[in-house]
Amino acid sequence: MTLSLAARAVEVLTTADGRAKTALGRRHAAEWLAARAAGTPLPIGHAAPPDRPARPDTPEVMSPRDMPRRRPGSPLGRAALLHAVAHIELNAVDLHWDIIARFSHIPMPLGFYDDWVRAADDEAKHFNLMCDCLEAAGSHYGAMPAHAGMWRAAEDTAHDLMGRLAVVPMVLEARGLDVTPSMIEVFEKAGEAGPVAALKTIYAEEVSHVAYGSKWFNWLCGQQGLDPKEAFHTLVRQYFHGVLKPPFNEEKRADAGLPPDFYWPLTEREAAADPA
């Protein structure tokens, strides 16, 4: 029997080890894309994703306030930066497989699944690139603490596909476009060619993930007769904790189909929502 895409997503989500999770995800992605290219798509199916994805015993997760402070200029600081990115990428792998399984009851065009399968495959590559860099520096994923609370956006939007698209690709992944250039600079200054190349690959590929979010968000708005900008503002204020922080990478955000009037108004709290 052919395993459905939703069942494959749940297999990835319930695999704890990062290298094993990403290897399995990459196999599923290759099979999905090959079947699509052959004109014989795999069934989407239905499968219940876990509330939280399986994760390895390490890294230890802790609140961002309790994380040890390290100077980005030091070798340890640079390793901590790579470790933080590896953790984000592993979380992103799970987020993309989760959107596939979690919302499989909502009929979407096959292109929706193509996009998130491709994004999940990219994140798997990114996680492995970061692990390779850490290992080349004598460390590994799990050697340092990692931010807790990464799955919060997924939990908050577990029942709202438009909310998920607004918060995950269009806010969190768009934020990656803002901050990656300065990370690349840190490694350029240190003359570390491996991390520079890896981070440049990540930076180039993340634009498409934001674009997938924007594409399907707009598609759902069109279907429901909603104004995309207003719907985006409402959903981000509903599900995202805090305000968006400039500076923004306006050029890459535009490449990804995210216009300034979507994100600039969210840099301030809405006056009416502020009880003070």
Binding site for Fe ion (CB under 5 A): 89, 92, 123, 126, 173, 206, 209
The rounded distance, in Å, linking the Cα atoms of 87 and 139 is 14
- Smallest gap from residue 245 Cβ to Fe ion (A): 19
Helix (H, G, I), strand (E, B) or coil at 61: strand
Smallest gap, in angstroms, from Cβ of residue 144 to Fe ion?
19
To Fe ion, the closest distance from the beta carbon of 275 in angstroms equals 35
How deeply is 34 buried, as exposed, middle or buried, from its count of CB atoms within 10 A (0-12, 13-18, 19+)?
exposed
Nearer to Fe ion, 8 or 118 (CB): 118
Angle at 136 between CA 131 and CA 138, to 5 degrees: 95
CA distances, 170 to each of 101, 141, 186, 203 (Å): 20, 27, 26, 15
Q: Judged by CB, which is closer to Fe ion: 7, or 252?
A: 252
Q: What six digits make up the tokens of 45?
A: 């199916």
Name which of 7 and 211 has its Cβ closer to Fe ion.
Answer: 211
Least distance between Fe ion and beta carbon 88 (Å) = 7
Cβ-based nearer residue to Fe ion, 92 or 146: 92
